[in-house]
Amino acid sequence: MVRDSHTSWIPPNHPRKESLLIRERLVDGFEEGYVAAQGLIAHGRGECFDYLIGESSISSALTAERVAVAALLTAKHPVISVNGNTAALVPKQIVELARLVNAKLEVNLFYRTREREELIVRVLKESGAEEVLGVGDDASCVIPELFSERRRVSCRGIYTADVVLVPLEDGDRTEALRRMGKTVIAIDLNPLSRTSRAASITIVDNVVRAIPNMVRFADEMRTMSRDELISIVKGFNNEENLRAALMFIRDRLTELINKGITLEFHKV
């Protein structure tokens, strides 16, 4: 689905090639009509936080990703919520993760339109999904005390789920889902967002790394006993894990300040 015209201008040796290619995937999704314009803004905010963690999966994120996989594998009714940005950035990987942890996929949009819902279903189906919930009349259950368009969910999906993975979520719905007694797993590069602070398990990582990591962990952890998986989940403390992410950022900035932050250019 990525058009060459958008990526061909990127020099192969550009130091920020990967980041530029990721942006183009969102621009393509926007032009194809399924990424919200606000999704482009959200991505820019994410990029900023990604700089602070060194654009890599830090150890607290890897821990949270393993715990999240354990929670999904032990859930009775796990659901993965998909929005425009996730569909543009990791369509195949999110379908693969759902298959490995036996979760349902549900489209759920903050900026909801029927057209975007249907386009995202198409993207997911082209990536191998068999069933995608949450479109049109299927989203007939309502999350109480929530007023955004995200309140309408599938009765067979998010409404009855015990564990919900919500990449790039808004804080209101995270809080509402927690009030319903659900385990909420958030992926959010901003450790200070309301979503990050309200979720049960917060993964402070870029969705482009977090989901492939989780696919790898799900493959490795599938053979673990239920007791082992439950003890991984029980041993996790989200507050402590978020503190570890903030301390990583603090220490990294301190190191950069002490060691020097300017790039070294070739002398002529």
Among 24, 28, 36, 185, binds ligand PTJ (CB under 6 A): 36
Q: Distance (Å, rounded) from C-alpha 249 to C-alpha 258?
A: 14
Q: What's at 152, amino acid-wise? A: R
Q: Is 91 in the site for ligand PTJ (CB under 6 A)?
A: no
Binding residues among 41-70 for ligand PTJ as defined by CB under 6 A: 42-43, 45-46, 49
Those residues whose C-beta lies under 8 Å from the C-beta of residue 32, and which sit 6 or more positions away, are 1, 119
Q: Is 25 in the site for ligand PTJ (CB under 6 A)?
A: no
Pick between residue 184 and residue 229 the one whose CB is nearest to ligand PTJ: 184
Q: Which residues of 211-240 are buried (b: 16+ CB within 10 A; e: fewer)?
A: bbbbbebbeebeebeeeebeebbeebebee
3 state DSSP class of 96: helix
Q: Is 217 in the site for ligand PTJ (CB under 6 A)?
A: no
Q: Is 85 in the site for ligand PTJ (CB under 6 A)?
A: yes
**Least separation, in Å, of the C-beta of 39 and ligand PTJ?**
4
Binding mask 110-149 for ligand PTJ (x = CB under 6 A): xx--------------------------------------
3 state DSSP class of 39: helix
Pick from 195, 252, 236, 218: which is nearest to 58 by CA? 252
Pick between residue 67 and residue 204 the one whose CB is nearest to ligand PTJ: 204
Pick from 75, 51, 5, 68: which is nearest to 206 by CA? 51
Q: Are 70 and 234 in contact (CB under 8 A)?
A: no
Q: Distance (Å, rounded) from C-alpha 45 to C-alpha 190?
A: 8
Binding mask 154-173 for ligand PTJ (x = CB under 6 A): --------------x-x---
Which one of the spans 66-74, 109-117, 121-129, 244-252 is the region binding ligand PTJ (CB under 6 A)?
109-117
Binding mask 175-204 for ligand PTJ (x = CB under 6 A): ------------xxxx--x-----------
Q: Distance (Å, rounded) from C-alpha 242 to C-alpha 153?
A: 29
CA distance between the termini of the chain: 43
Total residues interacting with ligand PTJ, rule: CB under 6 A = 24
Q: Is 83 in the site for ligand PTJ (CB under 6 A)?
A: yes
Binding site for ligand PTJ (CB under 6 A): 36, 38-39, 42-43, 45-46, 49, 83-85, 109-111, 168, 170, 187-190, 193, 206-208
